[in-house]
């Protein structure tokens, strides 16, 4: 929109064993020499099948039904965390959609729980049974939505509790916590199969990579491998050879997720398996322009730009003068945020010299006809006009920030700060239609 003065944004390894052996990750690893057994790096080579373009996947947290943030529990207390969530996608959630644990403290809970098939706009409750850790402190577990084909989507939702110190007269409670996520052994072994140790040494590899050296010792394993969650749609996999004891050094050039998890999976001859996970401290290459617990990294630095915003009866429009993603420049973008959570992106086609408004369109008292770029889109696109209604205040200019988030499928997420200072997360920058919600 042209203006006369606008001075110039833990892992579920078993699941991925099933869905990704035939899928090729973007190869970002270089195997280096190791001091003992020779390392074997494996990656499948089939080309992933592109997703259909007709659906933008998303979810919305409606409410924390149980266990509000920072509620206190005695050590070892069993509890159930329930969230109410909405399908804010443009298509139904299919059978097999799940909520999966992705990072933090699992608190003895499952690695995933099933979600029911859910049409767009419908809501459901989802619960996980957890146990307060044995050691006093604050614990937080992060969960995210997963499609049947292994695509993570939607926001990260979490449970955060405070474990209080037992009183002097309290009856001691045996420890029931799961090991911490920073070095988590999660064995459920049959007799004779166990992971004795699994560690990762990480060294910085500029500009955004890490040199990772894995060390492992097992008993009863006939095969072993390591899964890396630097990317989740197609996780990287390395053979751990020999499975009994060894080391492996790899160079990983980047991560799509902050503090990614590395998981060793060991199997015996009967197919039984045990797992051990380590969360590698690893900051995103770029920082968000706002405070957030988002685990997915920004794709690029934030852009600061002149903007315009106008509220409507059923939503708002935001105009961005110019934003950038690496070498790509987007100029004159209009984002339409509908009150029902739908988002659309349009190119501003109004130019100086064109009529700013239509004098034959007379708004009701107290309402406004939008002008210039907002007005042209509103007048020429009846769907936008019918869904938004009349403007309820004049357009205002301001300086804002915009930033794109890393994405592993269609429906690229992005963030933008509104005139009121609130940050919104929207999806669909690449496909021009998606959903939006305020960042807590």
Q: What is the pLDDT of residues 56-96, one digit of tens each?
A: 889 998 888 888 888 888 888 889 999 999 998 889 999 98
Question: DSSP label at 258?
Answer: S
Tens digits of residue pLDDT in 140-189: 988 999 888 888 888 889 999 998 876 544 334 343 333 333 344 444 45
Starting at the earlier edge strand, list the strands of the sheet with 112-114: 71-73, 152-163, 137-146, 98-104, 112-114
Percent of the chain scoring above 70 in pLDDT: 82
Check: CB of residue 127 under 8 Å from CB of residue 116.
no
137 — pLDDT class (breaks 50, 70, 90): confident
Identify whether residues 184 and 43 lie together within a single domain. Answer: yes
19-45: average pLDDT: 34
∠ CA 317-318-320, nearest 5°, is 150
Same domain, 33 and 137: no
Q: Is residue 174 part of a domain?
A: no
Range of the structural domain that residue 377 is part of: 303-438
Q: Tell me: do 194 and 145 sit in the same domain.
A: no
Q: Is 80 exceeded by the pLDDT of residue 32? A: no
Same domain, 235 and 146: no
Residue 166's pLDDT is: 65
Q: What is the pTM of this model?
A: 0.61
**Domain assignment present for 239:** yes
Residue 126 pLDDT > 90, yes or no?
yes
Is 286 among the domain residues?
A: no
Tokens, residue 76? 């070892």
pLDDT at 370 over 70: yes
Q: Tokens 């604050």 belong to which residue? A: 138
Say what percent of the chain tops pLDDT 90. 58
115 and 219 both lie in a single domain: no
In three-state secondary structure terms, 204 is strand
CATH number, domain at 198? 2.60.40
Of 33-42, 211-220, 405-414, 417-426, minimum mean pLDDT range: 33-42
pLDDT score recorded for residue 190: 60
User: Does residue 403 lie within any of the structural domains?
Assistant: yes
User: 326: Cβ–Cβ under 8 A, 6 or more apart, which residues?
Assistant: 299, 300
The answer on 324 and 274 residing in a single domain is no
- Same domain, yes or no: 185 and 45: yes
Same domain, 43 and 184: yes
pLDDT at 63: 84
Out of 110, 134, 163, pick the residue that ends a domain.
163
Confidence of residue 216 (pLDDT cuts 50, 70, 90): very high
Rounded to the nearest angstrom, the gap between the alpha carbon of residue 418 and the centroid of all alpha carbons in its chain is 21
Q: Is residue 96 assigned to a domain?
A: yes
Judgement on whether residues 239 and 264 belong to the same structural domain of the protein: yes
**CATH no. for residue 127?**
2.60.40.10
Tell me the pLDDT tens digit for each residue of 283-320: 999 999 999 988 899 999 999 999 999 999 999 999 99
What is the per-residue pLDDT for 28? 37
Reduced to 3 states (helix: H, G, I; strand: E, B; else coil), residue 7 is coil
Q: Are 314 and 339 in contact (CB under 8 A)?
A: yes
In a domain, 296, yes or no: no
What integer is the mean pLDDT of 201-230? 95
Q: What is the pLDDT of residues 322-368, one digit of tens each?
A: 999 888 999 999 999 999 999 999 999 999 999 999 999 999 999 99
- For the chain, what is the domain count? 3
Q: Is 284 a domain residue?
A: no
Mean pLDDT for the chain overall: 83
């Amino acid at each position: 929109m042209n203006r006369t003065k606008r001075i110039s944004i833990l892992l579920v390894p078993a699941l991925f064993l099933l869905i990704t052996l035939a899928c090729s990750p973007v190869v970002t690893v270089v195997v280096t020499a190791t001091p003992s057994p020779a390392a074997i790096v494996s990656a499948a080579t089939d080309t992933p099948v592109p997703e259909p373009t007709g659906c933008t996947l998303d979810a919305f947290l409606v409410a924390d039904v149980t266990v509000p943030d920072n509620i206190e529990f005695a050590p070892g207390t069993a509890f159930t965390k329930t969230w109410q969530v909405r399908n804010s996608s443009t298509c139904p959630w299919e059978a097999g959609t799940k909520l999966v644990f992705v990072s933090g403290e699992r608190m003895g809970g499952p690695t995933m729980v099933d979600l029911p098939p859910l049409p767009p706009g419908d809501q459901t409750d989802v619960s996980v049974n957890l146990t307060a850790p044995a050691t006093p402190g604050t614990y937080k577990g992060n969960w995210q939505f997963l499609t049947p084909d292994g695509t993570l989507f939607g926001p990260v939702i979490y449970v955060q509790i405070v474990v209080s110190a037992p009183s002097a007269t309290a009856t001691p409670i045996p420890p029931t916590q799961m090991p911490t996520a920073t070095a988590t052994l999660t064995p459920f072994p049959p007799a004779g199969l166990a992971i004795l140790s699994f560690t990762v040494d990480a060294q910085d590899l500029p500009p955004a990579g890490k040199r990772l050296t894995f060390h492992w010792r097992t008993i009863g394993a006939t095969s072993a491998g390591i899964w890396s969650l630097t990317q989740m749609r197609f996780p990287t996999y390395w053979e751990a050879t020999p499975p009994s004891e060894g080391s492996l050094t790899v160079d990983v050039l980047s991560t799509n997720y902050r503090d990614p998890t590395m998981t060793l999976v060991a199997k015996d001859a009967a197919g039984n398996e045990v797992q051990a996970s380590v969360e590698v401290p690893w900051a995103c290459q770029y920082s968000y322009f706002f405070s957030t617990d988002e685990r997915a990294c920004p794709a690029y630095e934030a852009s600061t730009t002149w903007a315009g915003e106008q509220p409507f009866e059923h939503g708002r429009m935001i105009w961005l003068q110019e934003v950038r993603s690496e070498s790509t420049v987007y100029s004159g973008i209009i984002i339409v945020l509908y009150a029902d959570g739908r988002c659309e992106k349009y190119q501003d086609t109004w130019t100086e010299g064109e009529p700013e408004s239509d004098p034959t369109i007379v708004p009701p008292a107290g309402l406004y006809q939008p002008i210039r770029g907002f007005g042209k889109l509103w007048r020429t696109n009846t769907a936008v006009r019918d869904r938004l209604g009349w403007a309820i205040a004049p357009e205002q200019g301001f300086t804002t920030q915009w930033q794109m988030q890393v994405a592993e499928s269609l429906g690229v997420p992005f963030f933008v700060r509104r005139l009121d200072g609130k940050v919104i997360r929207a999806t669909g920058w690449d496909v021009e239609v998606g959903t939006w919600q305020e960042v807590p």
